[in-house]
Structure 1
Amino acid sequence: MTNHEEPPNVRPLTLAWVSRHLEAGEHVIRTEALHGGITAEMRKLTIGTPGGDTRDLVLRTFVGVEQAQDWLEREAGALAVLPGTGVPAPALVAVDPTATHCEYPSLLMTHLPGRPVLDDEGLDRRLPLLARRLAAIHALRPAKRPRGYVALTTADTVVVPEGADAAAWAAAAEVIRKPPPPRPGRFLHRDFQPGNVLFDVSPSASAEVRITGVVDWAAASWGPADLDVAHCSVVLALLHGPAWGLRFPEAYEEAGGELAADADERLYWLVRDGLASSEEVEPVARAWRRAGRTDLTTRTVEERLDAYVTALMKASG
């Protein structure tokens, strides 16, 4: 009888829980940390099958995160309705949102091919794909809607970067002091951005670029499409420069997505998510550096955020 040693970095109760959700004769033979996340531990688990083959699963674990139960229930709910929709997302294997069986709240899902691409090179080819995929997500009409979106940032909690355009930021804060404009609800990913989209990466520059998966559905919500577009826009601005963030709403509409017709309503959502990003600059920049974007110092990201918010306010007149 083969002795399968306990893989490192997977806690004993969690490993036992994972094992109970494998097929007969399967076992975990290897684990690998997945980098790029901010709030959760992510590990790829290589599963050995009775026939000698392997397959991969992904384990998400929240340690000391107050919202863990809500996030895992949202993600499990989203993964349960996505099969058959054409959206390439992981399949749910098991979830333990209250840590009844695991040391910490955890979710087990299938592993998708591809990887996030955070480099500037080739972004002009990837941007339309991001826009089309997001528009397709918003077109879904699940029988069971997820819970409503959460937007915690207020005009009084905005963190203004050092050296930022004070007048522009003050004006932006006044924009979100108003009540949210009424907009039709849509199925939202709520963290749709390059770090949560997997691409089939080919070494050939001429090869077709395609999206192989959309991951991290922990904030899946029901709300205005503008909010998802605004979030992707600000992340593009921070990763690649303000001009790319300003360009994304147009790409989304070109892909068939619908945004608010009123300019002030559009501005509200774009500004809301832009200002929300000011509270997370340091951890986001650190995660991107770990993922290989060593040029993105916290100061660089702060400067890009300031330039983006300032550009939004100048465009609004």
Structure 2
Amino acid sequence: MRESADEESTSWSATRAWAEKELAPGERVQHVTRLRGGWSAQMRRLDVSGPDGARALVLRSFVKPFYVRYAPGLLNREADVLRLLAEGTGVPAADLVAVDAAAEHCDHPSLLMTLLPGRVRVDDAGTERRLTLLARQLTAIHAVRVTDATRPRAYQAWTAPDRVRVPAGTGRARLWRRAVDVIRREPPAYEPCFLHRDFHPGNVLFTGDGEDLRVGGVVDWVETSWGPADLDVAHCSTALALLHGVPTGMAFAEEYTRAGGKSADDADHLYWRLLDALAYAPDAEKLAVPWRELGRTDLTPEVLTARLEDYVGHLLDRFG
């Protein structure tokens, strides 16, 4: 097995041996490439050859202590979701090959799956077309039917009023206090549906260009939940506002509705939008790191802080 020159030195010999044992008879891993653009896990592409030809797989391994601690829940959840989505849902997700969520055989908790076509696109060019495709894809995800046995866990909020970190040095302290006050209430009633829960441009692969642009796959199903559609819309909207600017983030909910999705009334919708946006205060660095790896070096902490504050202000003006 050959590894690319930029492969990190983190030990994974046991993981490699486990992955090879999970291949079909006669298959061998010929080359390994580290994939960029992730935050929570190390991702590797495994190029495999065998009697029936060549194929490519993706190996997800949790190495950060926080994610290792929660890996059994996260990776087993993703494995269950991939099995569900393979049952004719029409959602372009990877096929599960194997999972070792507790690292019983691997150096780190790992999941092995098929490689989906396409690549992450975070450049500003072509944003309008991608926005439409993202909205259509999210409505399809929300339409996935589940049974009592396959229903994912209830959603978890990623912030709370007392946990919000207001950006330092801002001259708009009143705006931030007003935003925090919006989520200082019981969650609104909602009609639950199947949520990706981390749906944003970094987790969607695109193929083609121009009119031939298509969604090739949706990845990262470790946070899949059961909850309000507005929360998924909110999460993607926040990411779009930070990545491409506030107007794009504000436009996504309208695209989602145009694609057939349903939204709560303004007051409840604002709650979900701010519950998500405030989780990224003060500077959305968690999102920015993988985006910079993909070439968006313009997304400095200063730029993201300004965009987040602007976005919160626009939400309050539009829905408050």
**Fold shared by both chains (TM-score > 0.5):** yes
Is 1:161–2:163 an aligned residue pair? no
Corresponding residue for 2:197?
Answer: 190
Shift of 1:280: 6.6
Q: Is the 8 A contact 1:146 1:220 kept in 2?
A: yes
User: Where does structure 1 lack aligned partners over 5 or more consecutive residues?
Assistant: none
Tell me how many residue pairs correspond in the alignment.
309
1:305 equivalent among 305, 308, 316:
308
Corresponding residue for 2:155?
Answer: 149
In 2, the alpha carbon distance for the partners of 1:5 and 1:309 equals 48
Corresponding residue for 1:76?
Answer: 79
TM-align CA RMSD: 1.6
SS in 2 for 1:156: helix
Corresponding residue for 2:113?
Answer: 109
Is 1:57–2:57 an aligned residue pair? yes
Q: Is the 8 A contact 1:115 1:201 kept in 2?
A: no
AA of the residue aligned to 1:275: L
Corresponding residue for 1:215?
Answer: 219
Is 1:127–2:141 an aligned residue pair? no
Distance 1:289 1:220, change over 3 A: same
2:242 equivalent among 238, 243, 248:
238
In 2, the alpha carbon distance for the partners of 1:152 and 1:137 equals 21
Higher mean displacement: 6-15 or 245-254: 6-15
Shift of 1:19: 1.0
Q: Is the 8 A contact 1:286 1:298 kept in 2?
A: no
Shift of 1:71: 1.2
CA offset digits 1:145-174 (Å, max 9, x no partner): 011111130111111123432111111111
AA of the residue aligned to 1:306: E
In 2, the alpha carbon distance for the partners of 1:300 and 1:197 equals 23
Shift of 1:316: 3.3
Q: Is the 8 A contact 2:167 2:282 kept in 1?
A: no
In 2, the alpha carbon distance for the partners of 1:142 and 1:280 equals 36
SS in 2 for 1:178: coil
Identity of counterpart residues, as a percentage?
Answer: 51
In 2, the alpha carbon distance for the partners of 1:247 and 1:163 equals 29
TM-score of the superposed pair, with normalisation by structure 1:
0.93
Higher mean displacement: 226-235 or 62-71: 62-71
Is 1:30–2:36 an aligned residue pair? no
Corresponding residue for 1:314?
Answer: 317
Corresponding residue for 1:277?
Answer: 280
TM-score of the superposed pair, with normalisation by structure 2:
0.93
In 1, the alpha carbon distance for the partners of 2:3 and 2:118 equals 27
Distance 1:244 1:163, change over 3 A: farther
